[in-house]
Amino acid sequence: MSIGRSGSTLVAGAVALGVSCLGSAAWAADMPVKAPPPPFEFDVHGFVDVSFKNDYITPRGLLVTNTGLTTQALMGLALDIYKDKGGFINLVSVYGGWWADTWSKQNHPTARNLNEVDWFLGVSVKFAQNWKFGVEYSEFISPPGNFRTEQNVELSLAYDDSGWNPWFPINPYVKLFYAANGSSTVVVGKVGDTYDVELGIVPTFDLNKAGLPVVLTVPTWVTVGPSQYWNSGFFNNPLGTGNRGCGAALAFCSHDNVGVFSTGLTGKTSLSSIPKRLGNWYAKYGFQYYNIINDNLRLAQTVVGTAPTFAGSHRDVWVGFLGFGMGF
């Protein structure tokens, strides 16, 4: 929230009137009145985040690796191109960056431990003080050549309820993930021109208010969508009536419209000992639990090598992590 132009004028007027009554009108006239910043005042921000995990599982529930150490790095820049705290559109930012996953057990002859590289460009718009809408284009690239480059578009809408709910904000959001082209993002699903939807909340507890230098979040979501997103209808089944290989006697996999449910706990502590001129550094730690609801996601584990058979696939996945990051 900010003090609007009318509020600043009232405060300046009251001060001038009081000083005038004391016979110091000349001094009052020299008082500077701060003008509101122009809406097209550019600010540049940057971010870096590094995580060390026991497993790599995507937000859509594909268990990619479950041995060795997974290291994931995120880096990017954001440019604020429009600001108006008092208007309907409060902030417009454009951003871009890249994300990389390395797997200690890969040992590829050319890619070595580099498992995946993603790059992204997006625009976010904050409006009506508490809402944020985003559009992002991304490409998922496999240096070892495990899949064809996946081209995706994501639309997001989030609501920040901390303004009226400061002690227990849940921060609900929805994301539409459109897989436009390339390999299936869940391996055994439809290739291109398909989508899923992520429905989530991020309950947040700022323990700094209680004297502890920790902010806790509980990232929780479920994915839903058309059954074809997970079930291509052709995997190991030339008749095209559904993915086969789930359960006894190579039974057909489900045609469910739900993919994965996930919840967890993340702690973040500010590293205040690092000077602010070097950025705002933090340490993070926690875990994330995934319940693989859709059997096609379990079948996909037999393709990528995280399970020997469907019977030996993983319904429940726990990911622990440690990491650090910086923003400016």
pLDDT in tens, 194-219: 999 999 999 999 999 889 999 999 99
pLDDT at residue 86 greater than cutoff 50: yes
Tell me the percentage of the chain whose pLDDT exceeds 70.
88
CATH superfamily of 39-327: monomeric porin ompg (2.40.160.40)
pLDDT at residue 21 greater than cutoff 80: no
CA pair distance 141, 154, nearest whole angstrom: 17
Which pLDDT score is estimated for 15?
36
DSSP 149: P
Gyration radius of the chain's alpha carbons: 25
pLDDT in tens, 131-151: 999 999 999 999 999 999 999
pLDDT at residue 24 greater than cutoff 70: no
Please report, for the chain, the start and end positions of each structural domain, with discontinuous segments joined by +. 1-36, 39-327
Q: What is the pTM of this model?
A: 0.86
pLDDT band at 233 (very low <50, low <70, confident <90, very high): confident
| Angle, vertex CA 260, rays to CA 255 and CA 264, nearest 5 | 170
> 270-291: b or e for each residue (b if 16 or more CB lie within 10 Å)?
eeeeeeeeebebbebbbebebe
Average pLDDT of the residues in 240-250: 79
pLDDT at residue 61 greater than cutoff 90: yes
Which pLDDT score is estimated for 251?
85
Which pLDDT score is estimated for 241?
76
Let me know: does 290 contact 56? Beta carbons within 8 Å: no
